[in-house]
Each structure stands twice: as structure tokens, then as C-alpha cells.
Amino acid sequence: MESVEALTIVLAVGLTRGWKSTLVGVWAGLIVLAVIVGALGPALTVIPIDILRLVIGGLLLVFGLGWLRKAILRASGFKALHDEEAIYAPTAAGCRAG
């Protein structure tokens, strides 16, 4: 799901600002991600698996409850539904101006 959102952002910025700077940003982000994973990935073997499961499970629970709350508010009408076109228009205009 996150990769679809990232691809959407790259596509929108590429279409509005041009592809050269967009692709440079994509490559820079991938390199930084690879360095972080390469540096911190082996460190996960030092942490006991039970503690890691507890921390990750707690984080998933906290974020999941937040997403559930937003979904309930949107379904009940207390929070506006996501309008992607309304979000895209000002963002695209800002990219064109920048």
C-alpha cells in the first residue's frame, strides 16, 4: 500500500515539475534507505525476539487503533471523507510554482 502512495507522489511530481529532479530524488531516497537497512538491519539480531515482538505489536496496536478511530469517524459523518482530487490540486499548483 505504501509503495502505491509513493509511486503516486513520484508520478504527480514528475508530471508537474519535470522528471530529472524527480528521478534524482527517487534514487537518493533509495540509496538512503539501503544505507539505513544495511546499518541497522544486523542490529535486529541483537535484540531478543520476544522484546521485538512486544514493541512491534504495541506499535501496530497504537497505529491500528488510530486508523480505526478515523475510519469510524468518517463512516459516521463526523470527519470528512478523503477527497484525493481536492488534495492533488493545491499540491500540483505548488509544485508548478516551485
- pLDDT score for 27: 94
Instruction: Provide CB contacts within 8 A for 50, sequence distance 6+.
Output: none
- pLDDT score for 38: 92
Asked if 91 contacts 10 with a C-beta cutoff of 8 angstroms, the reply is no
Q: What angle do CA 42, 62, 4 make, to 5 degrees?
A: 70
Nearest CA-CA partner of 41 in 27, 52, 57, 50: 52
Q: Helix and strand tally (H, E) in the chain?
A: 4, 0
pLDDT per residue of the chain (98 residues) written in tens, 0 to 9: 577 888 888 888 888 888 998 899 999 999 999 999 999 888 888 888 899 899 999 999 999 999 999 999 988 988 887 777 777 778 778 777 76
